[in-house]
Amino acid sequence: MAIKRLRGLRWLGGMARGDLLAFVPAAGLAGYWYGVAGALLVIGAALSVAWLARDAGTSPAATLARDAAIQLPDRAAAVTTLDAALAEVVTTNRATAAFVLGIDDAEALLATYGDAAYAQILRRTGEQLQGVLREGDLVAYLGQARFAVVLMPVRRADLESVLQIATRLQAAAEVPQSIETRAVYLSAHVGFCLVSRAPASGGSAMLDAAETAADEALRQGPGSIRAYSSEIARATRERSEQVEAVSAAQEDGKIVAYFLPQISADTGDISGFELVPRWLQADADLPDSAAVLAAVQAAGLRARLGEVLLYHGFSAARGWATAGLPAIALTLPLSLDELRNPQFPDRLKWELDRFEFPPARLRLLVPEAAATDGAQEMVARTLAALARLGCAIELAGFGDGPAPIAALRRYAVQRLRIQRSFITRVDADPEAQSMVAAILSLAAQLGLETLADGVASIGEHAMLAQLGCGHLQGPVVARAMAFEDTQEWITRHRGKLQPAPPITRRKR
């Protein structure tokens, strides 16, 4: 009731400054000619007119700041509405909740449909969310394909009922849309925060908590729903500390390139080294290159990491040449961020020239997402420029995603990488053998080389060689090693290789 009285006073004050001023002359004349009764009659009419017009100009919803492109209230409006809802909760003994819903794979949508259609998708998503809410509930746009939903106070808002609302919001966002005569199917993640679990008072803190829960849902995979809790908050803080630590480590030169050997599956000859990041003196929480890559990506330092790996790789090549070892190819993993950078090919060319490293001996490992139909045009241009430099393009994860076969020719792919998930127990599993054989047959028909990743046993090695796989890497060969250990390993490995025995005709 206190909030309603406050809103009424605010409305009345607004009228005193605006609407009623137009009736002052009329009220004065009525008082002059008809006395007090006439003046009161005019003032009453003025109040009635202003009250009937209140929705058009003075309602709280009408005065909320709105996102121009998406045509929804913005983050500030969501915080203001949450503050009002929380104040009402205190006086009415009701409850509320805040939701943050995000579109999965928003970047792919933007790349596929373009800015205008992408904005249209977001606007329709907002409309679909509003369609399953009450009149007083608010849908706001937070940016980055995320929406906030503020639930106005209700009698019951426990975990079970709010989870049902989250599921309903997710279902509304995932209703197929028709854009440019094409059906668009969305996937959405949801995070929410109950007023009873808010980490601090105020609408801003509650909305931040819902965003933290949404971040956790996104990490769990498409279509996930998570409620804010102290455990999620603690895990988020730990990840933030990890990002800070990896940033400091990279600045201090503690993240370096290690070298993962690659060999011919048939002859055993060394065919190259993949450059993988290693965090020197890292904590046990980040033991492998995948974890380091994830932390570096979260810190926004992926491009800088690529420069570090490239420098260490080219320096190693010089060291091997000085030691009299034969030339060895290098594989550099790239990220989509690097491929979206139009200056990357020029920077790579400068490094190749500086170290006098032949481009043909550098393989660029691109993620499978770079070859999908939804890849940005800039990615395609960058790959074409890298191919013109003479670098070999290797595609990771083929067969494990939506990359079309036509993209292999379009992006001048020279080698396919077969993921570990395909080759696990390939020596004993007929289904795995059939799957790998199909991939290898396709590669052979297209004239592409192949490399199996994560080969863990001699049996897998032997079966892959029989099926026709060209190269392999993994524990069965060797684990990633520091540059200081590579020369000894190369010498030892080549010493174990025996020349094939000559085939002679048996004498009678």
pLDDT at 37: 66
Q: Residue 232: pLDDT above 90?
A: no
Cα 73 to the center of its chain, rounded Å = 24
CA dist., res. 428 & res. 456, Å (int): 13
Q: Residue 256: pLDDT above 70?
A: yes
Range scoring the smallest mean pLDDT among 1-15, 65-79, 90-104, 236-250: 1-15
Q: Residue 402: pLDDT above 70?
A: no
Side-chain-side CA neighbours of 99 within 13 Å: the count stands at 29
Q: What's the mean pLDDT when you consider all of the chain?
A: 82
pLDDT band at 374 (very low <50, low <70, confident <90, very high): very low
CA dist., res. 342 & res. 381, Å (int): 8
Cα angle value 114/401/124 (rounded, 5°): 35
Edge-first strand order for the sheet with 225-227 is 138-143, 146-154, 95-103, 188-194, 225-227
pLDDT at 36: 65
Residues near 98 by beta carbon (within 8 Å), at least 6 away in sequence:
78, 82, 148, 149, 150, 151, 192, 193, 203, 206, 207, 209, 210
Q: Residue 61: pLDDT above 90?
A: no
Q: Residue 30: pLDDT above 80?
A: no
Q: Residue 17: pLDDT above 80?
A: no
Element (H, E) at 141: strand 138-143
pLDDT band at 343 (very low <50, low <70, confident <90, very high): confident
What's the mean pLDDT in 331-341?
A: 86
What's the mean pLDDT in 347-373?
A: 88
Q: Residue 210: pLDDT above 80?
A: yes
What's the mean pLDDT in 449-453?
A: 95
Q: Residue 337: pLDDT above 90?
A: no
136 vs 378, higher pLDDT = 136
What's the mean pLDDT in 151-169?
A: 89
296 vs 120, higher pLDDT = 120
pLDDT band at 505 (very low <50, low <70, confident <90, very high): very low
Q: Model pTM? A: 0.60
Three-state SS annotation for 199-263: CCCCHHHHHHHHHHHHHHHHHHCCCCEEECCHHHHHHHHHHHHHHHHHHHHHHCCCEEEEEEEEE
How does DSSP classify residue 195?
A: G
423 vs 17, higher pLDDT = 423
**451, amino acid identity:** L
- Please list the alpha-helical segments (H only) found in 323-429: 336-339, 344-355, 377-389, 406-410, 420-423
Side-chain-side CA neighbours of 87 within 13 Å: the count stands at 12
Q: Residue 508: pLDDT above 50?
A: no
pLDDT band at 65 (very low <50, low <70, confident <90, very high): low
Residues making up the chain, counted from first to last: 508
Q: Residue 3: pLDDT above 60?
A: no
Residues near 166 by beta carbon (within 8 Å), at least 6 away in sequence:
99, 190, 192, 225
What's the mean pLDDT in 449-473?
A: 94
How does DSSP classify residue 481?
A: B
CA dist., res. 259 & res. 277, Å (int): 9
What's the mean pLDDT in 216-224?
A: 83
pLDDT at 294: 72
pLDDT at 425: 87
The two tokens of residue 214 are: 């949404």
Range scoring the smallest mean pLDDT among 131-140, 158-167, 479-488, 492-501: 492-501
Q: Residue 130: pLDDT above 60?
A: yes
Q: Residue 431: pLDDT above 60?
A: yes
Q: Residue 504: pLDDT above 60?
A: no
pLDDT at 248: 79
Percent of the chain with pLDDT over 90: 44
Q: Residue 501: pLDDT above 90?
A: no
pLDDT at 83: 93
378 vs 134, higher pLDDT = 134
Percent of the chain with pLDDT over 70: 78
CB 436 within 8 A of CB 423: yes
The Cβ of residue 47 has, within 10 Å, a number of other Cβ atoms equal to: 15
Q: Tens digits of per-residue pLDDT, 69-88?
A: 678 999 999 999 999 999 99
What's the mean pLDDT in 213-227?
A: 86
pLDDT at 7: 42
What's the mean pLDDT in 41-54?
A: 60
Positive or negative: CA dihedral 261, 266, 267, 271:
negative
